[in-house]
Structure 1
Amino acid sequence: MLKVKAKVPGYGEFIWPTVVAFRELGGSADKQQLLDKIAELMGLSEDVMTELHHNGPASEVAYRVAWVQTWLKHAGILENPKRGVWVLTLIGRAVSKEEAESVAPNKKRVATKGKDASQAEAEITPPLVIPVDEAEWQTDVLDTIKNMNPAAFERLAKRLLLELGFSKVTVTGGSGDGGIDAVGTVTVNSVLTFKVVVQCKRYRDTVGAGDLRNFRGAMQGRTDKALFITTGSFTRGAIDEATRDGVPEIDLISGEDLTGILKELKLGVKTEMVEKVSVVKEFFADI
């Protein structure tokens, strides 16, 4: 049976909830905190929150919120001091709903506090165009991984864990071991060592709370440290289960996270910089 797509709010509908979310979270938040707060403020269902953008890896909500954050940054309402960090500015703390929502493409910018009308007029957002899908390469990476043969996928999993700083990595192979696909050791400050059990799943859809409960059952009696890696995404229930009080926490790496890690480690992902050539006219004038 075909899955019916959930109705995701339009881009513009996320603008004010994003500002309010930052305010309620103390002016800064990580990605998951922000999405959780927006879902709470807008009353978004699990189906809406897990609806993938095209074939993933990001959810449609996360994709739209990311564009909203970019619009708010251009308006001086948010700032992005370093990768993964977003902060509400002084303007953002005082901005009104009307001022914030005017950052949407095709809307005339309303002057925000700290900017005069002439500045706002000069900053009118250009007409909306369909954005280049920045997740295209991520989807390509995940599709490639999903189509690898089992032996190659095992080698990739081991290489990834070694690159992440694990040692003594053992991959259990096709037999599995009660849901455990790999075991490794992590050393902290050259003193403390922890045994970590890992599950790597090539899912096309979401990982639910039941998957996390089964994995936790498999790790009991072996170690208190566990990592679940998937090429898919995690439901809200799965995230809650991973951090539930009274039981060992399970760290999660979603498909979107995985592509970012592979990019950073330069494992199968190459970043090319386009050369830009310009003429330094002052040089010729001073000859």
Structure 2
Amino acid sequence: MAIPDYQSLMLPVLTAAAEGQIRVPAAAEMIADRLGLTEEEREEMLPSGKQRLFHNRVHWAKFYLTKAGLIESPKRGVFVASAAGRGLLDQKPTRIDLDTLKQIPLFSDYYSQFAKSGKNSDDIEVLVASSASEATPEEQIDAAYALLNTTLKIDLLTRVLEQSPSFFERLIVDLLVAMGYGGSHEDAARKLGKSGDGGIDGIIDEDRLGLDRIYVQAKRYGAGSVVGRPEVQGFVGSLVGLGANKGVFVTTSTFSKQALDYARALQQRVILIDGSRLTELMVEFGVGVRASRVIEVRRLDEDFFADEG
């Protein structure tokens, strides 16, 4: 089954809390068992890869139930249903969601606090719309980030294809140096594009001392082109002729399945980087991009408020 959204988890979370004091991880496992979630569904991560999706949704269901006074925390990390929460369950609701919580004065007061804090009405409407979504705030942030990242990579590839072949070679230098190869940028720039040895476009030192070398092939092809096995095989032949065992074949297009299978079966270490992977690396290592906005998301520090007594 699909993982329920956080509003659909409010009733299961409150039910678990009514059975006694419990922690979020234990509650998540109990609810997952009752819902019959598979191991893959339990372990599915948010796009950021920093938290499990199901646990995140259980956390936010608990958060809103707490704001409505239906759940309370007798001690750090533990929660339990309040008298109001047990009273709501006695009514045997089939679902608890934000519309249900909005009927509770304490939860309505929670929203009104934003108006008193000086935020304008547009801010409040954004907050309400965000909360009413089936996605948790982290999911919304991750989804927006993924969309921006995908758009950025498409724009990057478009701009790269508009540049000259020499620009593309310099781009590969900048990227490899940013990744820690090439010794110094000057050394890398001098070697790439000047080998002229068959299928080799350049040579990059693998380390600062030049103890080992990586041979590079850089091909700027249009998006509709596909690099096949013959091109990769020609590159490997050049490596063998030079007694080299490490190579990187970079293209702005894609590799055929035959080319990929061929590279995987080689004794030499040959890495194939297509246009999609190229733009991923450019974004990851800050080549051709710059930070536009940095948002730091903070959480309440429960340890700070721990009862010392």
Q: TM-score, normalised by structure 1?
A: 0.48
Q: TM-score, normalised by structure 2?
A: 0.45
Between Structure 1 and Structure 2, which shows a larger proportion of helix residues?
A: 2
Between Structure 1 and Structure 2, which shows a larger proportion of strand residues?
A: 1
